[in-house]
Amino acid sequence: MHDQHPREVTRNNVPDEWFTWRKKNKKEQEQLARPSLSYWKDAWRRLKKNYLAMSGMAFITILVSMAIFGPILSPYEANMGVLSEQYQPPSAKHWFGTDNAGRDVFTRTWQGARISLFVGFMAALIDVTIGIIWGGISGYKGGRTDNFMMRIIEILYGIPYLLVVILLLVVMGPSLMTIIIALTVTGWVGMARIVRGQVMQIKNYEYILASRSFGTKQSRIIRRGLLPNTMGPIIVQMTLTVPSAIFAEAFLSFIGLGISSPNASWGVMASDSLGAILSGNWWTLFFPAFFISVTMFAFNVLGDGLQDALDPKLRK
Alpha carbons 150 and 145: distance in angstroms, whole number: 8
Can you say whether residue 27 is alpha, beta or left, with left for phi > 0 and alpha for psi between -120 and 50 degrees? alpha
Superfamily of domain 55-314: MetI-like (1.10.3720.10)
Can you say whether residue 88 is alpha, beta or left, with left for phi > 0 and alpha for psi between -120 and 50 degrees? beta
Residues whose CB falls within 8 Å of the CB of residue 84, separated by 6 or more in sequence, listed in order: 102
> Where in the chain are the domains?
55-314
Residue 77 has pLDDT above 70, yes or no: yes
pLDDT of residue 316: 56
Measured CA to CA in angstroms, residue 164 lies from 3, 123, 171, 181 at distances of 99, 15, 11, 11
Q: Which amino acid is at 131?
A: G
Residues whose CB falls within 8 Å of the CB of residue 140, separated by 6 or more in sequence, listed in order: 199, 203, 218, 221, 222, 226
Write the pLDDT tens digit of every residue in 19-75.
566 665 655 555 545 555 666 777 788 888 888 989 999 999 999 999 999 888 888
Alpha carbons 61 and 214: distance in angstroms, whole number: 45
249, 116 Cβ separation under 8 angstroms: yes
Residue 244 has pLDDT above 70, yes or no: yes
Mean pLDDT, residues 103-123: 89
How many other CB atoms are there within 10 angstroms of residue 255's CB atom?
11
Residue 199 has pLDDT above 80, yes or no: yes
- Name the 3-class secondary structure at 105: helix
pTM (two decimals)? 0.77
Q: Which residues of 77-94 are buried (b: 16+ CB within 10 A; e: fewer)?
A: ebeebeeebbbbeeeeeb
